Amino acid sequence: MRPRRIEDYRTLLWVFVLTPAVVMLHYLRPAWGLWLLPLSCYFAIACGVVAHNHMHRPTLSSKWANTVFSCWISIFYGYPVFAWLPTHNLNHHKLVNRRGDATITWRYTNKHNVFVASTYFFVSAYFQSKWIKDFIADAKLNKPALYRRILVEYAVTFGSHGLVLALSIAALGFGAGIRVWALSLGIPAFGALWTIMLFNYCQHVHTDPWSAHNHSRNFEGRLLNFLLFGNGLHTIHHEKPSLHWSDARAAHAAIRELIDPRLRHASLWGFFFKQYLLAPLFPRLGTEQVGRAPFDDEAPGENAFSQEPAEAL
């Protein structure tokens, strides 16, 4: 399993060594479960970011290896990674928070507060589900090889969770088994899905999808982008979706001054603190709509499944 870029040896270290090592540590030291939970959640989120990067630009040098890689990261991310194709690659990147985007931030309101942000996952997941179902139906009718891979990803993802849960209960007893599975895999996987969608919300709420460069919000901190493989630099990602994550900072620097300063943040945690803790008390500290609102014009959402699937599949 050789990566296509040397930088992705770190990706492989995170995914194949550190992530499963933390899961195993939960079983070797069950009493440490609550202390290990934040670490487990981080690695699950990291696997979600890796899944995103992988579906834009396959990580490994052969097709079979990328298929195995997709299945493996699906276990820790908590959902088969093929779902990035219909909801993200073929929908979100095409419409970028305009009408028809299943992940729009303004579906019921364009207000930005902790309630809208925290419930965005449930609303967005519901509307993304139709794109996933239609994609599966299209694959079943027209792309049997893709359909088989989708079935394999589902079987591996949920079968692995079921198997680990069953073995946990058999080895540790009902209550203890469920607890260790939940702290090692269950809660981190759900947390990863919720957090990845929160990132998407924060990166697009109150941005201008009609603008050449102000369509996305960026978090420029070096530690964040090290831990999350460049995911904070979102403007350049939308402008060059297949750009490797390790090249994102240099590419972002080239366009940085073209991005509205209100969409450039030094710290994600600072943004959360200001927006969700201070802004309710001092509204002027909250985000404001930059440029044209996404609902200022019509942009029909068409079915894009006739496009070629990503190389990773």
Question: How would residue 296 be classed by pLDDT, with cut points 50, 70 and 90?
Answer: confident
Query: Would you call 190 exposed, middle or buried from its count of C-beta atoms within 10 A (0-12, 13-18, 19+)?
Result: middle
**Cβ proximity of 123 and 103 under 8 Å:** no
The Cα 239–Cα 246 span in angstroms is: 15
Q: pLDDT tens, 37-62?
A: 999 999 999 999 999 999 999 999 99
**Cβ proximity of 119 and 107 under 8 Å:** no
Q: pLDDT tens, 120-144?
A: 999 999 999 999 999 999 999 999 9
Identify the CA nearest to 106 among candidates 207, 186, 192, 182: 207
Q: Residue 298's pLDDT is what?
A: 54
Q: pLDDT tens, 210-269?
A: 999 999 999 999 999 999 999 999 999 999 999 999 999 999 999 999 999 999 999 999
Q: Residue 305's pLDDT is what?
A: 35
